[in-house]
Amino acid sequence: MLVVLSVSAMAAPPKREFYEIKIYHLKDKTQEAAVENYLKEAYVPAAHRAGIKDVGVFKPVPSDTMSGKLIYVLTPLNSLDQLLSLPKTLEKDAKYLEAGKDYLDASYKTPPYTRFETTILQAFTTMPTHAKPNLKGAKSERVYEMRSYEGHTERRYQNKVKMFTQGGEVPLFVRLGFNAVFYGEVIAGSHQPNLMYMTTFENKADRDAHWKSFSDDAEWNKLKVNPEYQNNVSKNTSFYMYPTEYSDI
């Protein structure tokens, strides 16, 4: 017997998430401790209560010249409405207000940070939701690599996105076990047009071995010379970090 399923009966694909990446700029250990205490005791628990399951908090690897000067916060969101409503939700959360009091009520003479910057992304169609990395080692030894690929123009940037989503770059990362957390198109930020993604490794040696396998891969060496995908990146920046002990990701 032939069974015909209606469109409504078929499972809808996951909606594309949005990501807020907030980067705190710090001047000293006092500010670093203040922001970390706020994130650990107030923001991350409150985000959980607001329905955000995973929040990533990362710091530059010790060998990075920005170690002690930056803290990265990755918040996956279901929609732009959630992004806009989250501050209002937090302001109504008594536990958050109490736990974050030192940060929230800090004097102008002793601010908890120098400044922060925010980037908003929408997930790629080929990876519409984030993933927690399948890693076993200590968080302090891990290397999370976040890359930003800037484009000369909007169309050339979109060509790089297409290289990932239709050209086969995302499946290549999957096949080679790069443990990606997300791939996203930047929709608001200071370095547009650009895309960003994050891959994760047990340690630096594991990171180097994976990239060696990538550069040696026959599929990549074919893809990178494909005439369709030439001259689509004007600047490639990598950020190396590790997750804090209280990071969900």
- Whether the predicted pLDDT of 120 surpasses 70: yes
- Taking 70 as the threshold, does the pLDDT of residue 5 lie above it? no
pLDDT at 146: 98
Among 119, 194, 186, which residue's Cα sits nearest to residue 156? 194
For 181-217, write each residue's pLDDT tens digit. 999 999 999 999 999 999 999 999 999 999 999 999 9
Residue type, 161: V
pLDDT of residue 94: 98
- H/E stretch holding 103: helix 101-104
Domains identified in the chain and CATH numbers: 18-243 (3.30.70.100)
User: What's the confidence (pLDDT) of residue 163?
Assistant: 98
> Can you give the pLDDT at residue 12?
74
Give the mean model confidence (pLDDT) for residues 161-173: 97
The pLDDT of residue 10: 61
Is residue 175 predicted with pLDDT exceeding 90?
A: yes
Please tell me the pTM assigned to this model. Answer: 0.93
**155: burial class by Cβ within 10 Å (0-12, 13-18, 19+)?**
exposed
Tokens (6 digits) for 152: 């000369």
User: For the chain, what percent of residues have pLDDT higher than 90?
Assistant: 94
Which pLDDT tens digit goes with each residue over 215-246?
999 999 999 999 999 999 999 999 999 999 99
Would you tell me how many other CB atoms lie within 10 Å of the CB of residue 12?
Answer: 7
* pLDDT confidence tier of residue 158, bands split at 50, 70 and 90: very high
Q: What average pLDDT does the segment 1-8 reach?
A: 51
Integer Cα distance of 249 and 246 in angstroms: 9
Look at residue 14 in the predicted model and tell me its pLDDT.
83
- What type of residue is 70? L
pLDDT score recorded for residue 237: 97
For 13-64, write each residue's pLDDT tens digit: 789 999 999 999 999 999 999 999 999 999 999 999 999 999 999 999 999 9
For 198, the enclosing helix (H) or strand (E) is: strand 194-201
